[in-house]
């Protein structure tokens, strides 16, 4: 068994392993690395080197997460990062066994994401100030987010070379560098074309952003935080009281497709979900809405009927 003489170097190798071999996004890999940092600090406080940790040591770490009030979903993510780290240590010969094999993961109740109605999305679009320089760009952003069901990371990195306007689809580079073809609506195409004519074609892109579709005023790629700000601001202006994020438009895209009769497998492919079980949450949303509609409108659930 190899000794860990430089934990910082081992963590660097682990990060490279996640991005280069596992195909994780940089954001996910860094989150895993941060989770491992939490564990290493805990083990150091207890006088244990990472390569000598036992299942009991790791269970103590999980109990500490619970004690400080970290929610089950966040605990599960941290444990996932820890398990990946120890699997890596075993593969690289730093450990003879994997102490995380018997480490339980907290059960997480199914969380139903917030979904906007079509009327609420229309209200957000109507709230865009088209007299501003960024108005047409923001209109194209909302139509693309909702019309293609993109992740925020996919939107901000969307390239001109990924647009196939005549064929009406976009080529998306998703998680793990996996590509998928997503149809783009005529409305989104019209708004992108207007943005290209009015703004994008007149901008001087910064170095490295020449092929990026959506740019800020300085000609650089937009940040995820900027997209979040745009969506949140439009939500407030439209009077939408739900707590939403850019990802809400992706959830709404999938839910509205399902309500319209789209095949679940087709939705899975358009969203880029590796497993159909991830997509099936939208079936649950659809059923929940149906139940609410029945309870609200069915005559047997009417108060006057129950009192007869």
Q: What tens digit of pLDDT does each residue of 7-46 get?
A: 888 888 988 888 888 888 888 888 888 888 888 888 888 8
Q: What is the mean pLDDT of residues 100-126?
A: 81
Q: Which whole-number Å values give the CA distances from 191 to 182, 229, 231, 253, in the listed order?
A: 17, 20, 17, 17
CA atoms within 13 A on the CB side of 275: 3
Band (292; pLDDT cuts 50, 70, 90): low
pLDDT tier at 179, thresholds 50, 70, 90: confident
Q: What's the mean pLDDT in 190-211?
A: 95
170: which strand partners? 163, 182
Distance CA 187, CA 199 (A): 18
- Tell me the range of 105-109, 168-172, 301-305 where mean pLDDT is highest: 168-172
- Domain regions of the chain by residue span: 7-91, 118-295
What average pLDDT does this structure show over 263-269?
Answer: 75
The residue that leads in pLDDT, 258 or 240, is 240
The residues that bridge with 172 in the sheet, in sequence order, are 180
Q: What is the mean pLDDT of the chain?
A: 83
CATH code for the part of the protein at 118-295: 1.10.443.10
Domains 7-91 and 118-295 share a fold: no
pLDDT value at 88 more than 70: yes
Q: What is the structure's pLDDT at 295?
A: 47
| 297 against 263, higher pLDDT | 263
For residue 137, give the nearest of 244, 212, 238 by alpha carbon. 212
Integer CA distances (angstroms), 69 to 36, 63, 65, 72, 175, in order = 18, 10, 7, 9, 30
pLDDT of residue 250: 86
Residues marked active site are found at 151, 175, 247, 250, 273, 282
CATH topology of domain 7-91: DNA polymerase; domain 1 (1.10.150)
The predicted structure's pLDDT at residue 264 = 72
C-alpha closest to that of 252 among 231, 237, 233, 236? 231
CA atoms within a 13 Å half-sphere pointing along the CA-CB vector of 29:
18
Q: Return phi, psi of residue 154, to 5°.
A: -75, -35
What's the pLDDT band for 263 if we cut at 50, 70, 90? confident
For residue 273, name the pLDDT band (cuts at 50, 70, 90): confident
- pLDDT confidence tier of residue 238, bands split at 50, 70 and 90: very high
Give the pLDDT of residue 205: 95
Sorting pLDDT into bands at 50, 70 and 90, what band is 134?
very high
Residue 299 has pLDDT above 50, yes or no: no
Does the reported pTM lie above 0.75? no
């Amino acid at each position: 068994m190899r000794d860990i003489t430089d934990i910082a170097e081992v963590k660097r190798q682990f990060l490279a392993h996640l991005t280069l071999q596992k195909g994780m996004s940089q954001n996910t890999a860094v989150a895993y690395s941060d989770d491992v940092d939490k564990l290493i600090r805990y083990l150091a406080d207890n006088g244990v080197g990472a390569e000598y940790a036992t299942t009991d040591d790791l269970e103590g770490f999980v109990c500490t997460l619970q004690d400080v009030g970290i929610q089950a979903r966040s605990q599960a993510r941290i444990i996932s990062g820890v398990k990946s780290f120890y699997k890596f240590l075993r593969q690289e010969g730093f450990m003879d066994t994997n102490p995380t094999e018997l480490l339980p993961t907290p059960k997480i109740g199914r969380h139903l994401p917030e979904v906007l109605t079509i009327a609420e999305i229309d209200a957000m679009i109507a709230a865009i100030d088209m007299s501003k320089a960024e108005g047409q760009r923001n209109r194209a952003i909302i139509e693309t987010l909702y019309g293609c069901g993109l992740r925020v990371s996919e939107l901000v990195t969307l390239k001109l070379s990924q647009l196939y306007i005549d064929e009406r689809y976009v080529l998306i580079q998703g998680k793990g560098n996996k590509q998928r073809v997503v149809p783009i609506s005529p409305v989104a195409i019209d708004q992108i074309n207007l943005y290209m004519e009015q703004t994008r074609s007149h901008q001087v892109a910064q170095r490295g952003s020449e092929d990026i579709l959506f740019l800020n005023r300085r000609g650089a790629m937009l940040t995820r935080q900027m997209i979040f700000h745009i969506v949140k601001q439009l939500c407030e202006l439209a009077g939408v009281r739900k707590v939403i994020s850019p990802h809400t438009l992706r959830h709404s895209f999938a839910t509205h497709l399902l309500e319209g009769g789209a095949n679940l497998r087709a939705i899975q492919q358009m969203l880029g979900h590796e497993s159909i079980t991830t997509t099936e949450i939208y079936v649950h949303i659809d059923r929940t809405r149906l139940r609410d509609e029945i309870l609200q409108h069915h005559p047997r659930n009417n108060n006057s009927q129950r009192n007869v």
